[in-house]
Structure 1
Amino acid sequence: MPEQSHEELLACIGREYYLENRSKVEIAAGHALSRFQVARLLNEAVESGIVEIKVRFPSHLSSADLGRLESSLGIGQVIVADTTGGEIQARGVLAKVAASEISRQAPDGGILGISWSRTLDVASRLVKELPRCDIVQLAGALPAEADSNPLELIQRLGHLSGGLTWPLWSPLVVEDPRTASGLRRQPEIAGALAKADSLDLAVVAIGAWKAGSSTVWERADPAVREEAVLAGAIAECSGRLLNSAGAPVESGLNERIIAVTIKQLQRTPQVIAIAQGEARAEAVRAVARAGFVTTLIIDEPLAKALNDMRDEEKNQ
């Protein structure tokens, strides 16, 4: 066989990384290279034009619209995924974007915390590589699909990062405040919750405090749900409720939650938040006002709803 040229090597590595979704470690092993050599070759492939990367914005959302959305929400980076098809398809697109951002922003030698949602579970399966970092579970478990649970999500990312994992061996919502208090004193749970004080990056999902828009809503009894609504709750993030001003809502539910707190998220330097569907527009604005989100990943219908709300307020 003729010897492979340097340009052919660049094309081969580019195909394996960008099209076949192989990690740099896998590519390095296949070509007798180091991971750092693979990274340099990928950069060279892009700079030389052998690999071309195109970013396509949704046709109805210009870069100016995106800038105005970021400004109105007070969030440094808003990523609008170009979603088409049904809810499950859109979730897959959002998950792919989230996986890319988790890989890009993961702190080398630091601490990454992540909550559970259906989209984040899919995203964790799409992450192919991480720098060495510790992984912290930010919210206890909720009953979900048989092939999806937060402990597996944490273990999956921990295997990729090679760092320590800090699982939360607890449900997200427990029966009463006394049980929750006892669980928080358990050494393993206390250790994981304490780790949330030192996060470098947190990844969370945003829900609206209403039926069908929050996985926690169904776990709270009707009296507790109503109490939270009357207290002004419109948004839910890792089981924590917020009002329209972005302030935490104190209710009976808050005392029964085993999860990261809003104050801990506000102390975290980088926070990626993901939300889907126009029904969560008010919730996203509430979470944005809490001031901890640095990267927001949303779908097109939600972006349109947020822009429409902004325009309506300007015209009042």
Structure 2
Amino acid sequence: MMNWDERRQIVKVANLYYFAGQTQAQIASKMGVSRPVISKLLNKAREMGIVEIYIKDENAHTVKLEQQLENIYHLKEVLVVPAGNLSTDMIKHALGKAAASYVSRNIKNITSLGISWGSTLSKFVQEYPYEQHRDLQIVPLVGGMGRKFVEIHSNLLAYQLAQKMNSHCSYLYAPAMVESLELKERLIQSEDIAMVLEEGRNVEMAIVGLGNPFKDSTMTDMHYLTSDDLASLKLAKATGDIGSRFYNAEGNQIKHPLNDLVIGLDLEEFKNIPEVVGIVEGAHKVESLRAALKGGYLNVLVIDDVTADLLLHHAQKKD
């Protein structure tokens, strides 16, 4: 048992350090002991519950989620955005802003950036600040042509981002998904398309979204997927898609005719990109996201706190 004097000494050191704002060296000098002794006493104060440290800030919860998800899924960085009572559109804007801040901080030594497509990525481009990156090449990672949802196609996003960054961009003049293998072969043999696909394979950083093909799917809204397609994807155990390529719960690209019709990077090729930033919104994408993380497609994750909580819950439940 600790005697009264020892306990009083611990309380005194804690008071000087936490309330009086003195350094460990100053306290050591005052009490006639070494600085390591003061450090040990402060540790004891926390261990014994004499001192309890709280972070009183709305970001405390999200920062803890970030650290937990980074550790569980071995990610370089996780950014968790508070969703609160925000609408889906407002959450996507908040995610876009967080992703834009991350990319802006980490793009200084990068000469090639790839971008996929989707409504969340569109918000990322809208939120990106105006900067000067004259030596940067922006590359669409999947085809995107047609009359519907033009504002979220990869070509337009690459162009708009290049305008924001004062940089250059390539154009992938092909749909994300074509009608037949024969047409795909003809298109990817075209010098212009082959060159952009090769550029995409060699980017240093990629920005991607991911989807759940069975719920709130943009691919379905764009009529890339029919009800028959969805039925066959379900049979093939598709769980999610990145760059219009479908994968299962284990994170493996499924063998399916639709995957063979995509003009864009193969999922395995995403793994070769040094840094892939995934921007994900919505609880309906939790299983899709878990599978993508299992597949090792993402290094950095930007996510809302509701989805992050669910992702963490599933991971802990599994353990």
> Fold conserved (TM > 0.5)?
yes
2:234 aligned residue (229, 236, 242) = 229
**TM-superposed deviation, 1:145:** 3.9
Residue 112 of structure 2 is matched in structure 1 by: 111
Residue 206 of structure 1 is matched in structure 2 by: 210
2:183 aligned residue (179, 195, 200) = 179
1:96-107 equivalences in 2 (<5 Å): 96-106=97-107
RMSD: 2.4
Letter in 2 for 1:168: L
**TM-superposed deviation, 1:116:** 1.2
In structure 2, the residue corresponding to 1:61 is in which secondary structure?
helix
Q: 1:216 to 1:179 in 2, by over 3 A?
A: farther
Normalising to structure 1: TM-score of the pair?
Answer: 0.75
**TM-superposed deviation, 1:60:** 7.4
C-alpha distance after superposition, 1:118-173 (max 9, x if no partner):
12112112222253311100111165446554322212222344443221111112
Residue 82 of structure 1 is matched in structure 2 by: 82
In structure 2, the residue corresponding to 1:207 is in which secondary structure?
coil
Residue 137 of structure 1 is matched in structure 2 by: 140
2:259 aligned residue (241, 246, 254) = 254
CA contact (8 A) 1:234 1:242 kept: yes
Normalising to structure 2: TM-score of the pair?
Answer: 0.75
Alignment size in residue pairs: 260
Q: Which moved more, 1:151-160 or 1:257-266?
A: 151-160
C-alpha distance after superposition, 1:76-102 (max 9, x if no partner):
211111223111111111111122122
1:50-69 equivalences in 2 (<5 Å): 58=58, 61=61, 63-69=63-69
CA contact (8 A) 1:166 1:191 kept: no
Residue 284 of structure 1 is matched in structure 2 by: 289
Tell me, in whole angstroms, the C-alpha distance in 2 between the residues paired with 1:66 and 1:98.
14
**TM-superposed deviation, 1:62:** 5.4
Tell me, in whole angstroms, the C-alpha distance in 2 between the residues paired with 1:81 and 1:70.
15
1:270 aligned residue (241, 266, 275) = 275
Q: 1:57 to 1:115 in 2, by over 3 A?
A: farther
Letter in 2 for 1:197: R
Tell me, in whole angstroms, the C-alpha distance in 2 between the residues paired with 1:69 and 1:137.
29
Q: 1:101 to 1:210 in 2, by over 3 A?
A: same
Q: Which runs of 5+ in 2 are unaligned?
A: 1-55
Tell me, in whole angstroms, the C-alpha distance in 2 between the residues paired with 1:144 and 1:104.
33
Residue 309 of structure 2 is matched in structure 1 by: 304
Q: 1:82 to 1:227 in 2, by over 3 A?
A: same
CA contact (8 A) 1:73 1:285 kept: no
CA contact (8 A) 1:224 1:251 kept: no
2:245 aligned residue (234, 240, 243) = 240
Letter in 2 for 1:230: L
Tell me, in whole angstroms, the C-alpha distance in 2 between the residues paired with 1:216 and 1:223.
11
CA contact (8 A) 1:74 1:288 kept: no
Residue 27 of structure 1 is matched in structure 2 by: none
Percent of aligned pairs sharing the same letter: 23
Tell me, in whole angstroms, the C-alpha distance in 2 between the residues paired with 1:161 and 1:254.
32
Tell me, in whole angstroms, the C-alpha distance in 1 between the residues paired with 2:296 and 2:289.
11
Letter in 2 for 1:115: S
CA contact (8 A) 2:118 2:218 kept: no
Tell me, in whole angstroms, the C-alpha distance in 2 between the residues paired with 1:147 and 1:103.
22
**TM-superposed deviation, 1:310:** 1.9
**TM-superposed deviation, 1:214:** 4.5
CA contact (8 A) 2:282 2:304 kept: yes
In structure 2, the residue corresponding to 1:312 is in which secondary structure?
helix
Q: Which runs of 5+ in 1 are unaligned?
A: 1-55
Tell me, in whole angstroms, the C-alpha distance in 1 between the residues paired with 2:264 and 2:276.
16
CA contact (8 A) 2:240 2:291 kept: yes
1:148-163 equivalences in 2 (<5 Å): 148-163=152-167
